[in-house]
Structures are given as structure tokens and as C-alpha cells.
Structure 1
Amino acid sequence: MTAGGARRDLTSYVGRAEDEGEVRRLLGEARLVTLTGPGGVGKTRLAGRVAGSVTRAFPDGVAVAGLAELRDGTMVTRTLADCLGLHDTAARTARDTVLAHLRERRMLLVLDNCEHLVTHCAELVEVLLQRCPDLVVLATSRCSLRVAGERVLPIAPLAVPPESALTAGDALVYDAVRLFVDRAAEVLPSFRLTEDNAAAVVGLCRQLDGLPLAVELAAARIRVLSPGQIAERMSASLAVLTTGARSLPERHRSLRATIEGSHSLCTDVERTVWECCSVFAGAFDLSAAEDVCAAPGPAGLDGLAVLDAVDGLVDKSVLLRVEGVTAVRFRMLEALREFGQERLAGAGIAEAIARRHRDHHVRLLGQADAEWFGPRRDHWFARLSDQHADLRAALSWSLRDPDEAVVVLRMASGVIEYWMARGAAWEIREWLDRALAVTAEDAPGRARAQARAALCAALHADLDGARHRLKLAESIGDEDAVPHLCHARAFVALIAVEPHALENAAEAVRIFDARGAVRSRLHPMFIQAVATAYRGDLAGARHLLAEMRRLCESARDDSYRSMALFGLGTVEIFFGGDLDVGERAMRDALEIDLRGPDVLSAAYRVDGLAWASARREDWPRAARLFGTAATLWDRCGAEPDIAVSLAHRQLLQATRDALGDTRFEEAFGEGQARNPHDILAPPASPAPADGPAVLPPLTQRESEIARLVATGLSNREIAVRLVIAQRTAETHLQHILNKLDLANRTQVAIWVNEKHATGTGPGPGPA
């Protein structure tokens, strides 16, 4: 499995061949290698290049966890779990889930940008290396992690020419000059290194000490300044820094001078937008930039001014354009973000901008909450996922002040389905608990937040924790929270197989109905239907689930419709109803889930189909389906121990008893190797006999993805087809591009088709 946030290089990669070789050598000798060096030296790009080149050595894949966007050290492990596509729905912490997933895998884990969270990263890495014997970690940081067995490789700036290298030919031998020329030509296509400008470029690269980020920022100015003019300005900036910031190392002064030079070339509005947008932890869209840059009064920036400034900052390489799932987004390199943050603090407005940032995300969650139930759910899930790092940053900032922490109760209690879909019930529970610990006893929303936390605790089978939170919520006496309390009580009772699940669920449904809260009715209605079936009233359960389906179809919401179909399948299969109806409902639910990235729900549906086969006493098929479901549980780090544990345990044991251990394990193993899409569709056409399944130098999985790229499928469609996270598909594609030295998907498609045409590999197959 491969996961994480590796990106295809948007620009040429210069030098580092010796460094790449040394990193690969160290990875063959040690289980922890840390690339160190100042900001802007190129540690991240080097780590990404190496990770893409060593996939054959790690049969279970490469996982890339980028930590630059993270502001809260307590979220390091949760971020890694996200990158691995793991859910925290089992009764264990995020760390337990990650350890269970990695314990028997031979993987390379890349932890990028550890310096601001070095203590948390070191603690996590130490535990991972102790308990996961085949795991290898490649970290990037401005300082070492100081973990036993660590091999530290300082990454030096690019080689710079001596002062005597005055000709273009002599200068181009050096990587720093080549980088400047490449980047300058991207900005100004007519730029060439000539005998007339070679000395100025050499002098400039020497002034910048070959620091790649500084060289790139300087080259971005070539549209308005000559190399000689850039060098003159750089000399002046360095003189100021040399006298005013002697505590900075020389290379830090070089980078600082470059950044200040870029800042001075910006207009006043561009500088304001640069500084305000430094508040973002991750990438952001234009509407977010407008919100944090807007100021009340006639002097405030309007949307058009922000748009023009963003355009100018992209042109000056201060902002990088990123293609988002729902809109074009922008991100800022860490060194530039830190500079902007310093400017905000110096002006005394950092807290005001942070509040605007938080308020933007409060409004965003409110919009998502209003539109979640219906056809825009996937849009909002993608948009919130894109901004998850900033949601965390907004929550963390609000927790610093008890008066602001009350906002966390509202933010974290709203679109709970978003957090559940991410497999982050532990995370939302933690945000709620931290906010409850610092807000006043009479703060609005406390009772509802306690009820939400109880629901999350129940999802982890922490029934004692859930009951404790329910008691705290009940003691508040908030009428507005009553249906939420009933909902949580019903779920606890259902999981614990205790009385009153039906009554509490029915009361929650009644109150939510009276309030017109259709979406809030649906999960309690599911609980009510299953509890009704437990009492032997199949007709009543069917009626409730039919109403749930009607509401979902009217709203055009597939996610809750899948839940309703799963409920119907459970009622018919497990409680002695119509097996044909139940199996069809499970298949319909699975078809919905396989269209999206919800691996956890798909696991439940496949498990349900195994129940149907067991009820029919088709034991071999049941065992295969249990095996396929087990692979899905494993992919998201979950277990079938919530809501369906009784059906799962009873029918799994019945299947094993009927087949015996040997035959069961054989059929179960066959199922584990099966793609769940095959359950619903006819078997795919086999690869041509005259061509191997693997397209050298790609691995089998990379070959499979390359062929799907050749059919025109997007990364999201590939992820859905293969039942993997979209991040996983993106990282596989990154490795394919690196291995083949190609620049884009079109070139991959041409390469695959040429392989097929020459008879050296299978064709792309059906779309």
C-alpha cells in the first residue's frame, strides 16, 4: 500500500544525484535516516525523489506524511493515520491503529518537515521502530530527531562556481547556476545565460550560497530586473542583515535577504495579502483569501483587489498554484509563511488575522452543515478534506482562550458525518473534550457537545465513557440537546444489547421531525428499525427503513440511502426475513459505496453479503466474502465490532465450523485477494497471453494503475476502481512518473500503448 501527499514536480529538478545515491545507501543500512539542513535547501524534494525511486525495496509501499501544515503536535499520529487511509473506529487510539497496520509491513515512511514538532515526531518514530521491525523511516527536519540508530545526512546547498568562472560555459557546470537559468527561463522564456550576464549570475549565486529556495526567488525577479540589478539589490539587503541580524547563520541571512527582496518588489496590496495569507496552515482558495484579507471600512481590500494581489504573488513565486478537487487553490512555502507571520506579529495584528481565519472556517462548516444532506455531500467532503489542516489550526487557536473555546463546541458538533467519513471519531472526540475542559459550565452548547462525545465514545465501544458523558450532559438540563441525548442513548443501548434502544431512538426521531431536522432523524431511524427487528417486528422495521429511503431519495442523498439499504439487508438476512430482498439491498448499498472513497462502509456491505451466503449455507462463498471484507477492514484499520458484531461473529463462526479450519482459511484467503468490484460485476477480461501483467520497470500495482491511466480514468476514478484512497492513487502515479522520467498522464498513456503495440506488455484493457 502506498499513501501520502507526494506531488509531481512542477518544475525541473537540478542536481542532487550524489545526494540521492547517498540517501538510498543509508536507507539500505539504517532504519531511520534524517535529512537535515536549513529551510529552502531542498530536503523535501530530495526525499520525494528518493521515495519514488526505491519502491521495489518496499513491497508494502511508501507512505508520505507531510507535517508542514500541522500546528498541533498532538495530531502527528492522527495525520499519519490519515495518510495511511486508516479509520479509528476500533476500540483503540490512533497510535494503536497505526501500529497494528504497520507492524507486519515492510514499508518506507517519509515524515516531511518535522522541525516544529520534533519532540512529538521523535516519540512516534521511536515507538514505530521498536514495534514495527520491517519499517524504515526517512525524515526531513532542520534538526535531527535524536532517536537511537538515527543516521543524519546534512543536505548542503547547490554547488556554486568560483569567482573566476566568468564564462557561460564555465558557470553552467555548477548546479546553482543551472537552477537559476532554468527558473529564469520559466519566468522569461527569452532569458539565456550569455557572456554578458554570466559574471552577474555567478556573483548572485555565490551571494545566495547556492540555497535553492533563495536562487528560485531571485530568478523570479528576472522579468523586471537584470541579473546585475538583482545582485545589487541582494548586496544591499545582505549588508543590512549582516549588521542588524548577526545572530543568524550566513545561509539564513542569504535566504532572509532574498525573501525581503521579494517582499520589497511587491505592491502594498500584495504585501498585505502575503502577510495575511501566511495564517493558512495549508493550501487555500480565493474565497478564503478574501475573508482573511478583508478589513472593515473604506480602506479595506475588496475581492477584486485580493484577486489581483494573488495573481501578482503567483507571478512572483510567493504563492504556488495548486489544482484542488473543488477549486484552484494556492499554497505558500514554509519559509515565506514564517516571514509573513513575523510581519503580522510585528504589526500587532496576528491575533486579529487568526480570528478572521477561524471565523472563515466557522462559516465554511456552517455552509457544509446546511448542504450536507443531499447531492452536494461529496463536494463538501472534498472541500473540507482539502482544508482539514486549516480546520485543525482554527480549532487549536480557539482553544487558547476559554472565551473563544466555546466556538470549538459549535465547530466540532456540527458536521459530524464529515469526521466519521474521515475515520476521525477519536479526533472529534478529543476536540470536544479539550473544549469542554476549558469552557464555562454555563457555556452554550455544552450538553450537545457531551452528547456528540458520547456518540463518538460508543463508536469505539467505550460504553463506560459514553455513559459518563451522557450523565454530564443530562445534568446540564439543556432542552435543545434532548434529541441528541436520546440519539446517543439509543446507540449505546443498541451496541450493548440493552433495553430502551427502541424508545430512545423513537423519541429522537420524533423531536428531530418536529424541528424539521430531516438529516438528524436518519441515524436514529436506522437504530429504531434495527431495534424493532430485534423485538421480532419485521414489518415495523421494514416500514421505518422504507421511510428512511424515501427521505434520502427525495433529497438525492446516496450516503444515507446506503445506510438504509444496509439496515434493510441486516433486517432481512439476520432476523429471518426474505434473503433475496436482503441480499439485493446489500448489493445495492455496496454499489453506492464503491462509487466513492468510503472503504469502511463497503466493508460492512461485503460482510453483509457474507451473512447472506452463510444463511443459504453456501459456505465457500461466505468464507470468500468474509475474506474480502477482512481486506477492507484492514485497509482502513477498522474491525467489525460496532453495530454488526453479533451477526458477524455468529455467521463467521458458523462458516468456519461448516468448512473446517483448512477449507475455511483457503477460501478466506481467496477472498482476501479479490477486488470487491468483482462481487458486483462480471470478471474482468484476462491480460493477453502474450504479455506479462507487469510492465517493467513498474511494479504490478503501478502497472495496473498505468493501464487505467491509459484508459483515461482520473485519479479519483482509479481509486474507486481499485478501492484505495485517492492519495494512494496519486502517490502511485508520482512513482510511475519518476521511474519512467515522464512529466504527465498523457505521456504515461502513450508509453503504455507503445508497450502494447510493440508486444512488450499488455494493453490498457477495458475502461
Structure 2
Amino acid sequence: MGVETGVAGRAVGNVPAEMTSFVGRRHATAEVKRALSTARLVTFTGVGGVGKSRLALHVAREARRVFPDGVWLVELAKLGDPALVEQTVAAALELLDHSRRDAATVLAEFLADKHLLLVLDNCEHVLARCGHLVARLLSAAARLSVLATSREPLGVPGEQLWPVPPLSVPPADGDAQVPEQLPEALVLFEHRARAVAPDFTLGQDNWLAVARLCRRLDGLPLAIELAAVRMSILSAEQMLERLEDRFALLTAESHTALPRHQTLRATVDWSFELCSEPERALWARCSVFAGDFNLDAAERVCAGAGLATGEVFEAVSGLIDKSVLVREECGHVVRYRILETIREYGRQRLEQAGDTAAVLRRHRDYYLHLAEQAEANAGGPHQYQWAKRLRAERANMWAALDYCLTVPGQARAGMRLGAALWFYWIACGFVRDGRYWLDRALQADPAPSRERARALWIDGWITTMQGDKQVSLALLKEGRSLAQELGDDTELTYALQFIGAAKKMNNDLSQAIPLMDYVLAHYRESTEWPAVALTIFPQRVMAAGLVGDTDHAMDLLDECRAICTPLGERWALSWALWSAAVTWWVAGDYPRMSSHLRESLRHKRDLNDQLGIPFCVELLSWVAASQADWTQAAVLRGAAEMMWEPIGRPLFGFVTLLDCSKEWKARTREALGERAYQTAVQHGAQMTQEEVIAYALDGP
């Protein structure tokens, strides 16, 4: 590390020149330079390998003109004894004081009239000593600025934290074409790959593999650079195949790098060794989480031998400070995330400790309990909150289901979990996911059980909603037979309810209505209304409407409203209102149809009912067409068609409604003309969900 000199040979810094090109971070560089103009201490935090040091040095070089007394780098990574921090800083500043005064005092006096930037790199392992020194120097030197890198804050008053994120990577579902502006991670990979393979070019034939590789490496610059070095002997596709043991593969060959930077494992090892024993235990155990998680989950899943429940909070705090966990605010809830590379390292540590099976089992048990809590509350006033929570826990629920279906002897628990999530699958609009997991669970455990009987009718319900009529009836009838065999009256009643619903969807109302009436009478006698039972009302209201029994349909709607309102239930009520709209459509009363659809849509908007919203939008397009508002009808149709795509078949594949939809579509196209019709449809298709709902409720 050489000393840079200015006018008259005066030393103005020791920041080394860049040996390789600096990629990306333009916005961050500009923002940090601005931050240094107002905050005298800026600390870069982030996980090992994310590029804190590289960014700090780049910012330092960019900011040299602002500091007439120079920009000075103090490398602390090799320092083993915290007591040597002051001497290390003094040596970097070439301050050769031989007096008996303590080094901190010497530094304070030397810097008192200096206008310079001090870059303290890798402070985490001497954190307390660095914090004390920085606080003293900033107090003594009014024009001193400090830029620090650390895996946790220095804890000095006035410190401005700057978390360094990974480099940007392309989305997993992105375009197959090479984008005009490459994400930062791919630019870095290309630059470093060319250094070892000059003929390497990122093009159409390899960019998807490189993009996937960069995503697998979490956009971590160190990992990407170590991977790019291998382009001299491997292709990107070959590296992807070998990423099962990424740490063994990505070994740096440079002998000039610090030992902890020679492999990605060494980098993460170094972070692990800096943790307390409870923090190490938490790091290893939280590797079982998929996606993010909250404190309650951490306490229930990770507490155990070596980590008491009461220690989890402090361990979480410590891992956040060390940038192992990333803290994220989701509304009023704080959640934690661990990067994939760090998570995999923790999983290896968990396996070494022999704790993997026990922690995975606790993870499954926690999310099974959570799913059953959600099911128990699915018919109450907290539907939206539970739906939101289940959406946030999607990845963890999937991990728990996968555990059940891959660990011998756990498939029945998988059916139990998959069935308990019915509200998530159906009310939140993830019917495809629900069918996937329930199909797998049913196949994995064909033995007769109550769990199987329940999973069968829920899977049959889901397939009915997908319009898969033959499969849905087969599942429901199997569930009915199994419930009869087991003598389980509860599961039998549910199976009969959804057989009736399936027959209604097949237009077999002569068989559907008696079944529904039998089930409804059974529910009325029990006087208990769990969430699933309440769905009998929208099913029966629609059946009454389809046979022209409007008065009975409205009586059923009133009964549903009277039950749901005290419970605070809105989801089943929203569907009953939608079914009432179908009733008024049959009766030819479009104003009342519109009124019920709008009330239903307001409930569905508040619940974020992804499945129900397009049902309302579709039928409101019919209302608009009935009023000769052809443009609004076409816009709403375009929006509905776009919403149907992730759901599957529109309108549950109900032939009667589909025929009407085709008729209104043809009439709208004819009234507008092809060009105007397509323009309006495209306009609707490009709207956000919020815009569509506002348009449907309030008009253009």
C-alpha cells in the first residue's frame, strides 16, 4: 500500500489504485458521497462477500478531492489484538510518535486540525475498541470524517448505517432475451470472466445460465468473482451442476488475497467464528427456514440444547448486527431473512452438529400448528390478517409440506397440513398450489384415515373450482366413501356438501339441491358455523337463483348475512353476494345484480381475494354491456381475462356462465368494432388490480 502525494510532495492518502474494474453501485456511490457531507461517520454493514470493502475504497477514491488532507485506509482484518487498533491507525497515517503518551491521545492531537477521511476496514472483530477510538477522534477533530466497514454497527453517536445489498440480479421469471441493460451481477461476472477467458462473451446462448448462476450466488460479489475465475476451465452450465457443494468449488487461486477471502467458505467461516455460542446455534438452526421468518418462529423452532428460548432474542439481535440476518419490516411486523449462501453454510453446520432432523421436525410442527390456527380463525373477524400471514409464510409452509412428503412416515401429517391450509389455497387464490400439494400427499399415503378423508374432499373442492369436473367428483366420492367407512359424520357432511357443489357446477341441479339442503339442515341443527360450513350459503343461493327461485335465494342471503355479521366473517358473505348477483342475472334485474356485485367486490378488495375479484369484474362487464356502456364492458373484460390466467379456467368452468360470457363478449365486440374493442380490452389488461377495482366500482 503506497502513499499518495499532492502539492509539494505532501502525503494526501494511501488508498491503493483499483486493480480491477469497479462494477455497478453508481447510485450507492453517489448517495454515500452525499451522506459524508452531512454525517461524519458512515458505516457500511453487510454479510461477508457482499462488497463492503470494495465499495468503501471506491467511494474513498471518488471523494478524494473533498478532503485536502487525504483519504487514509486502515486495514484491520489482520489485527488479532484489539489493543493494537490505535497503533494500527497511527501506522496507516504514518504518524511515528515515540513518546509515552497513549496512542489515542497522539491521534487526537494529530487529527485536530486535519480535514481528512479515515477508512476503517473490517472493524467487526475489534468492534468495541474501534467504537471508542472513533468517538474520541470525532470529538477531537471537527473536520474528520470516518468511513467504516463492519458486519455490525460501531455504536457511536451520530453513526449513519449504510447496509450494502447484493448486486442486482435478473428475476427468475424474466425475459429469455438478453436485456439491453444487464443487472450488476451479470456485468461483474462478464468482466471477471474475460480476465481469465478473453474470448468469453455474454450472449443469447449462455446468458440464462449465467443469470441463474448469479441468482444462486445471491448476487454476492465475492462469490460471483470466485465463480467467474472458473470460466477458464468450466462453462456456466457446468458450474451450475456443481453448485451442490459451492464452497468446495469456489476456491480462489490468488495468493495475494487474505486467507479468509481465498474461498467463500473462509469468508463465512470467519463470520461464524466471530459469533457467540448462542448466535452460532441460531445461525445453524435458522437455516431450516425457507424465505423469511419472525421472532416467534425463531423462538419455537431454534430454541433447544445450547440455546434457551430466552436467549433467542439476543441471538437474533446479534446476528442482525453481524449482518448474518437481514431485518425487514412488513407493515407493522418485523421479519428476518438469511441469504441463501449463508443459509446453506448454516445447514452444513447444523448437519455437523447432528441437529438437522430435530430442528426440521420442530419447523414442521410450528407451521402445522400455525396452519391449524389459521383454519380455526378462518371464519372470524381476522380473516384478512390470517390471509396476509399465510401469504408471508408461503415458502415455509412449502418447506414443511416438502418435509412431510420426503421424510418416511410423515405423509399423513402432510395431508393434515395441506388440508389445514384450505383457506390459503382457496380464499387467497392459490388453488394450483393446493392441488399440487394435496395430490402429492394423497398419493404418498393411500391408507384409510380421517386425514385422508378430509384431504380428499378439500382436493375435490379445489378441482371443482378449477373446472376439472370428472376428477373433482371422483375425489369427492372417494372422500364420501372413506368417511362412511370410518364412521366420521363431520367429514361425510363436508364431502356431501361439495359433491352437491360439483353437481351444481355440472348443471345437475336436480341432484345438487337435495344434497345441499340435507347439509344445510345438518349445519342448522348443530348451531356451529365453522368457516367451511358457511360456504354452503353461496352454493345454495346460486342453485336457487339458477332455478329461478329468487325469493328463496334472497332469504338464504339474509340468513348468511345474519350469521356472518356477528362473527365478523366477510369471505363467505362476499361469495353469497356474488351468487345473489347471479340470481338477479337470471331474473334479468341488472341494477340489483350490479348492487350485489359491487358489495361483493368491496369485501373481496378488503380481503385481497385474488380468486374472487375476477368473478366480480367479469360479471360487472356484463352489467356494463347490458346498459350499452360498451367501452367499460370491454375494459372490464380485458381486465378479467388477464386475471383469469393464473387461476385457470374462468368462472370455475361453469358452462351456463361461460356461455353467457361468450354472448356478451360477442355483443360488445360487435357494438364497438374490432379496433375499438381490442384497444379497450388491452387497456383493461394493462391495469393494476387496484385500478381495475376502482374502475369497476366508480367507472372511468
Counterpart in the other structure of 2:252:
250
Alpha-carbon spacing, 1:216–1:268, altered in 2? closer, same or farther (3 Å): farther
The equivalent position to 2:277 in structure 1, one of 268, 286, 297, is 268
For 1:278, what is the secondary structure of its paired residue?
Answer: helix
- Within 5 Å, which residues of 2 pair with 1:632-643? 632-633=643-644, 636=646, 638-642=648-652
Q: Deviation at 1:510?
A: 3.4
Secondary structure of the corresponding residue to residue 327 of structure 2: strand
> Does the Cα contact within 8 Å between 1:512 and 1:520 map onto a contact in 2?
no
- The residue aligned with 1:585 is 596
Q: From the superposition, tell whether residues 303 and 438 of structure 1 become closer, same or farther in structure 2 (CA, over 3 Å).
A: same
Q: Counterparts of 2:370 and 2:439 in 1: how far apart (Å)?
A: 22
SS of the residue corresponding to residue 399 of structure 1 reads: helix
Pair 1:340 & 2:349 matched:
no
CA distance in 1, matches of 2:379, 2:125: 48
Aligned to 2:91: 196
Residue 581 (structure 2) aligns with = 569
Q: C-alpha distance in 1, partners of 2:86/2:604?
A: 52
Measured after TM superposition, the shift of residue 326 of structure 1 is 4.9
Shift of residue 179 of structure 1?
12
Give the C-alpha shift of residue 359 in structure 1.
0.6
Distance 1:622 1:320, change over 3 A: closer
CA deviation vs aligned residue, 1:494-542 (integer Å, no higher than 9, x gap)? 2211241212223333344445233112222211111122222111111
Say which structure, 1 or 2, has more relative contact order (CA 8 Å, 6+ apart).
1
1:546 to 547, 558, 568: 558
1:671: how far off?
5.5
1:618 shift after superposition? 5.5
2:572 maps to amino acid:
Y
Cα separation, 2, equivalents of 1:218 and 1:631: 51
- Take 1:388 and 1:372, find their aligned partners in 2: how far apart are those partners? 17
1:381: how far off? 1.5
Deviations 1:563-609 (A, max 9, x none): 12111111112x11543222111122223333453344222112222
**What's the CA shift for 1:389?**
0.8
Asked if 2 retains the 8 angstrom alpha-carbon contact of 1:624 and 1:668, the reply is no
Change (3 A) 1:437 1:602: closer
CA distance in 1 between counterparts of 2:433 and 2:248 reads: 43
1:560 correspondence with 2:572: yes
Q: Secondary structure at the match of 1:500?
A: helix
Instruction: Select the structure of larger CA radius of gyration.
Output: 2
Q: Which residue in 1 is equivalent to 2:256?
A: none
Between the aligned partners of 2:644 and 2:75, the Cα distance in structure 1 is 49
Counterpart of 1:680 in structure 2 is 697
Given the two structures, how large is their TM-score scaled by the length of structure 2?
0.62
Distance change (3 Å), C-alpha of 1:524 and 1:342:
same
Shift of 1:630: 3.1
Residue aligning to 1:435: 441
1:478-627 → structure 2 map (5 Å cutoff): 478=486, 479=488, 480-498=490-508, 499-515=510-526, 516-573=528-585, 575-576=586-587, 578-595=589-606, 597-616=608-627, 621-627=632-638
CA distance in 2 between counterparts of 1:560 and 1:358 reads 29
The answer to whether the Cα contact below 8 Å between 2:516 and 2:540 also exists between their aligned partners in 1 is yes
Q: Which residue of 2 aligns with 1:355?
A: 361
CA distance in 1, matches of 2:468, 2:434: 15
Aligned partners of 1:169 and 1:647: how far apart in 2? 70
Distance 1:626 1:257, change over 3 A: closer
Deviation at 1:663, TM superposition (A): 2.5
Which stretch of the first structure deviates more once superposed, 450-459 or 605-614? 605-614
2:125 corresponds to 1:221: yes
Mapped partners of 1:441, 1:496: distance in 2? 30
Cα distance per residue 1:187-219 (max 9 Å; x no partner):
xxx9999563489xxxxxxxxxxxxxxx99955
Q: Which moved more, 1:448-457 or 1:644-653?
A: 644-653
Q: Report what 2:370 is aligned to.
A: 364
User: Which residue type is aligned with residue 91 of structure 2?
Assistant: D
Q: Give the one of 292, 299, 306 matched to 1:290.
A: 299
Q: Cα gap change, 1:513/1:366 in structure 2, threshold over 3 Å: closer, same or farther?
A: farther
Contact 1:613 1:619 in 2 (8 A): yes
Percent of aligned pairs with the same amino acid = 27
Q: Which residue in 2 is equivalent to 1:393?
A: 399
Say if 1:520 and 1:594 are closer, same or farther in 2 by CA, change over 3 A: closer
Q: Deviations over 1:199-249 (max 9, x none)?
A: 9xxxxxxxxxxxxxxx9995543414669xx99xxxxxxxxxxxxx99872
Q: Is the 8 A contact 2:545 2:584 kept in 1?
A: no
Give secondary structure in 1 for the equivalent of 2:288.
coil
SS of residue matched to 1:221: helix
Q: Could you tell me how far 1:670 is from its partner in structure 2?
A: 2.5
Q: Distance in 1 between matches of 2:121 and 2:558?
A: 61
Tell me the TM-score normalized by structure 1: 0.57
Distance 1:475 1:248, change over 3 A: same
The whole-number CA distance in structure 2 between the counterparts of 1:403 and 1:216 is: 54
Work out whether residues 600 and 638 of structure 1, in 8 Å CA contact, stay in contact via their aligned partners in 2. Answer: no
AA matched with 1:565? L
Q: In the TM superposition, what whole-angstrom CA distance separates every residue of 1:386-430 from its partner, at most 9, and x where no partner exists?
A: 121111111111112342111111111113121124432122112
CA distance in 2, matches of 1:512, 1:401: 38
Structure 1 contact 405–435 (Cα < 8 Å) conserved: yes
Q: Tell me, in whole angstroms, the C-alpha distance in 2 between the residues paired with 1:291 and 1:219.
A: 33
Shift of 1:665: 5.5
Q: Distance in 1 between matches of 2:267 and 2:667?
A: 71
C-alpha offsets along residues 288-323 of structure 1, whole Å, 9 cap, x if unaligned? 01001233xxx6744431111111111122211111
| 1-structure distance, mates of 2:470, 2:73 | 64
Query: What amino acid is the match of 2:416?
Result: R
What is the alpha-carbon distance in structure 1 between the residues aligned to residue 625 and residue 699 of structure 2?
Answer: 22
Whole-angstrom distance in 1 between the partners of 2:75 and 2:649: 53
Q: Is the 8 A contact 1:40 1:335 kept in 2?
A: no
Residue in 2 aligned with 1:725? none
Q: Distance in 2 between matches of 1:179 and 1:633?
A: 59
Separation in 1, partners of 2:573, 2:49 = 51
Aligned counterpart, 1:240: none
Q: Quick one: distance in 2 between partners of 1:354 and 1:611?
A: 51
Contact 1:365/1:415, CA 8 A, preserved across alignment: yes
- What per-residue deviation string (whole Å, max 9, x for no partner) do you get for residues 478-498 of structure 1? 323212211221222122112
2:228 is matched with: none
Choose from 472, 476, 494 the match for 1:470: 476
Aligned to 1:746: none
Unaligned runs of 5+ in 2: 1-17, 26-46, 58-62, 80-84, 95-118, 132-147, 150-246, 254-260, 685-690
CA distance, structure 2, for counterparts of residue 15 and residue 483 of structure 1: 73
Deviation of the 1:557 alpha carbon? 2.6
CA distance in 2, matches of 1:449, 1:255: 44
The one-letter code of the counterpart of 1:260 is D
- The alignment partner of 1:328 has SS state of strand
AA aligned opposite 2:609: D
Q: Residues 326 and 382 of structure 1 are in contact (CA less than 8 Å); yes or no, is this contact kept in structure 2?
A: no
Shift of 1:682: 6.6
